[in-house]
């Protein structure tokens, strides 16, 4: 099926109801057991929700970006999130989704900038966060909750306001909403400055949904297919794939939390999910920790299988002997990995940051297909993705561009994209829009190269490239990704702007380091003590020397500092999509960096 210009995002419900109504369109855990929502009941709930919003004065006739009402949501992934998104769209209002981890100062900025009228929150904790800054946001009339919270207004109070007259009005408004009407404003915190509101229309996202679907491809129902959703829904990547699932008739099950992923995967046995590389790294670390706990023949077998898989190339046959060994590894070792993921995985799509090539090789060799893709919020988001089709995957690249859009590299290698998926602009920032979209071409700020004239490979962020004092450019991301292949390195940030040589801040993988120290009969007491132990420092120097050989002289890490704590969202060093905030890390660890160059 190809999309027509008439389709809006909320049309996904009517489309599914007509083509392939499902008993489990959406599902979530309620009081310990899975509760499913069929397509017909979702359609009814969403229409009543829209009618109630009209009763509250949401929507109206002014459908300009500035004039349309803004409704914000800050919540974990759950069916109510999707109900709210669809209901708001159907009134002509604009949804402003916000990360649950957003700090109060940034939250206040977003609510003020968008002049948010009503707000939906999931939990007591998020209600308290919004309430703490409510007085500073005069436009905010009321906060509704998804959880039943004493003293707060539950969202069902809005659906209860629906009348037959209002439901008829909803249908009239829906019919009049143009595909170029604004669907959402997504604020990207990025790694610097105040958040920017990316304005995306129905046409932007619907185009991306169907062009991605055509390129990947996701098959339409009626085949029973379900996915587990856990990446934040306020991120355009998860929002876009949600609509791919809805238009394809794929059931969406929401994970309870990041901590319950393993249990939820086993419970529902999904066909696939989307993720970010950092979470894949965590899964792999867990697997390797299990392997380290084995002894004797089982241990040798485990590490033999992993070594075999790390040499896997989907485009070049390893030969009969290699293939036979890999088949044995799959039967004896990797079958247990697949079991832990529910035993049905046919696709995992990863995006948001560069994925380690070694991980892609190992997971794909283990018959856990991981497809890397790429795209910024400003493109709704997908620009390219590796394909399920023969010859459609090349490890270390983000795949060929999706059908229906143009991609070119500027003289400096910056990736530029043109097509119906490119944003309307930055909200209330025509200056930034003019800098970013030039003659219809979105300048992404990412630098890339073509591989085999077909596959796009991201080499770095323009803003992250730095010059040493010798005038040589260094791209930190490829160096960091290579070094993270070491089981001893949890996180790493390459430094050296304006300095004589390249250095690095390294967060050791403490679980693995502790295991290694025990093997060496070196007592492990604390992280602080471990990283001052001479033999440990010596070992890390050996690791650095080993990986340095992959890079030219100017890119090689000459000195490094080991840190005691992992970088996190809570600590402020990571963005909500788990990208490194380089400026924050540089400032926070300026003494450690100074020590590298002292």
Condensed to tens digits (0 to 9), the pLDDT of residues 353-370 reads: 888 999 999 999 999 999
Task: Give the pLDDT score at 194.
Answer: 81
- Check whether 62 has a pLDDT greater than 80: no
409 DSSP β-pair partners: 415
Task: Give the pLDDT score at 190.
Answer: 53
Tell me what the mean pLDDT of segment 117-125 comes to: 98
Domain boundaries, the chain: 11-268, 276-462, 465-596
- Check whether 63 has a pLDDT greater than 70: no
pLDDT tier at 278, thresholds 50, 70, 90: confident
Place of tokens 């970006």: 65
Tell me what the mean pLDDT of segment 580-585 comes to: 91
CATH top class, domain 465-596 = alpha beta
pLDDT tier at 352, thresholds 50, 70, 90: confident
Q: 577: helix, coil or strand?
A: coil
Task: Give the pLDDT score at 1.
Answer: 47
pLDDT tier at 8, thresholds 50, 70, 90: very high
CATH 3.40.50.12780 describes domain 11-268:
yes
Kindly report the CATH number that applies to the domain delimited by 276-462: 3.40.50.12780
For 392-435, how does the pLDDT look when each residue is reduced to its tens digit (9 = 90+)? 999 999 999 999 999 999 999 999 999 999 999 999 999 999 99
Query: DSSP code of 346?
Result: -
Tell me what the mean pLDDT of segment 193-219 comes to: 92
Tell me what the mean pLDDT of segment 549-556 comes to: 93
CA distance readout (Å), 126 to 121, 187, 300, 589:
6, 18, 48, 30
CA distance 240 to 249: 14
Q: What is the pTM of this model?
A: 0.88
- Check whether 31 has a pLDDT greater than 70: yes
CA angle 400, 403, 405 (to 5 degrees): 95
pLDDT tier at 133, thresholds 50, 70, 90: very high
Query: DSSP code of 299?
Result: H
- Check whether 5 has a pLDDT greater than 70: no
For 514-542, how does the pLDDT look when each residue is reduced to its tens digit (9 = 90+)? 999 999 999 999 999 999 999 999 999 99
Domains 11-268 and 465-596 agree in fold:
no
Tell me what the mean pLDDT of segment 79-106 comes to: 95
CA distance 399 to 377: 18
């Amino acid at each position: 099926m190809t999309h027509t210009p008439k389709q809006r995002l909320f049309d996904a419900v009517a489309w599914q109801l007509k083509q392939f109504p499902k008993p489990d369109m959406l599902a979530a855990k309620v009081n310990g057991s899975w509760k499913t929502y069929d397509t017909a009941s979702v359609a009814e709930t969403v229409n009543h929700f829209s009618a109630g919003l009209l009763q509250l004065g949401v929507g109206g006739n002014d459908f300009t970006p500035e004039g349309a009402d803004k409704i914000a949501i800050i919540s974990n992934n759950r069916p109510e999130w999707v109900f709210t998104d669809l209901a708001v769209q159907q009134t002509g209002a604009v949804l402003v989704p916000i990360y649950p981890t957003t700090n109060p100062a940034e939250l206040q900025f977003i609510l003020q900038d968008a002049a948010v009228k009503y707000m939906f929150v999931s939990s007591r904790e998020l209600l308290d966060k919004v309430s703490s800054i409510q007085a500073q946001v005069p436009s905010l009339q009321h906060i509704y909750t998804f959880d039943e919270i004493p003293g707060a207004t539950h969202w069902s109070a809005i659906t209860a306001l629906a009348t037959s007259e209002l439901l008829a009005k909803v249908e009239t408004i829906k019919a009049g909403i143009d595909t170029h009407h604004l669907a959402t404003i997504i604020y990207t915190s990025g790694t610097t400055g105040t958040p920017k509101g990316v304005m995306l229309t129905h046409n932007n996202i619907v185009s991306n949904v169907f062009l991605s679907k055509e390129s990947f491809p996701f098959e339409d129902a009626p085949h029973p297919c379900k996915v587990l959703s856990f990446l934040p829904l306020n991120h355009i990547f998860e929002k876009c794939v949600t609509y791919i699932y809805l238009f394809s008739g794929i059931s969406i099950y929401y994970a309870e939390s990041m901590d319950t992923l393993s249990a939820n995967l086993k419970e529902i046995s999904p066909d696939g999910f989307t993720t970010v590389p950092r979470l894949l790294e965590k899964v792999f670390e867990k697997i390797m920790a299990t392997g380290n706990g084995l002894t004797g023949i089982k241990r040798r077998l485990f590490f033999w299988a992993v070594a075999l898989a790390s040499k896997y190339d989907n485009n070049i046959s390893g030969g009969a002997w290699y293939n036979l060994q890999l088949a044995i590894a799959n039967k004896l070792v990797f079958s247990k990995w697949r079991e832990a993921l529910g035993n049905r995985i046919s696709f995992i799509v990863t995006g948001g940051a560069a994925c380690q090539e070694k991980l892609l090789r190992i997971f794909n060799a283990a018959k856990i297909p991981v497809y890397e893709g790429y795209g910024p919020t400003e493109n709704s988001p997908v620009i390219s993705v590796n394909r399920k089709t023969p010859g459609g995957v090349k490890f270390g690249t983000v795949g060929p561009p999706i059908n229906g859009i143009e991609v070119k590299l500027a003289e400096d290698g910056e990736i530029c994209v043109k097509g119906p998926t490119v944003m309307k602009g930055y909200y209330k920032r025509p200056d930034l829009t003019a800098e970013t979209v030039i003659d219809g071409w979105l300048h992404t700020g990412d630098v890339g190269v073509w591989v085999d004239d077909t596959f796009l490979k991201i080499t770095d962020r323009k803003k992250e490239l730095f010059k040493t004092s010798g005038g040589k450019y260094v791209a930190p991301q490829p160096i960091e990704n290579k070094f993270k292949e070491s089981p001893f390195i949890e996180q790493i940030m390459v430094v050296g702007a304006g300095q004589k040589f390249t250095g690095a801040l390294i967060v050791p993988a403490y679980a693995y380091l502790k295991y290694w120290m025990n093997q060496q009969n070196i007592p492990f007491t604390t992280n602080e003590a471990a990283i001052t132990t001479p033999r440990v420092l010596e070992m890390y120097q050996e690791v650095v020397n080993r990986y340095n050989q992959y890079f030219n002289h100017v890119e090689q890490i000459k000195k490094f500092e080991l840190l005691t704590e992992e970088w996190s969202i809570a600590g402020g060093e990571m963005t909500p999509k788990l990208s490194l905030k380089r400026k924050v890390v540089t400032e926070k660890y300026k003494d450690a960096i100074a020590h590298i160059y002292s």
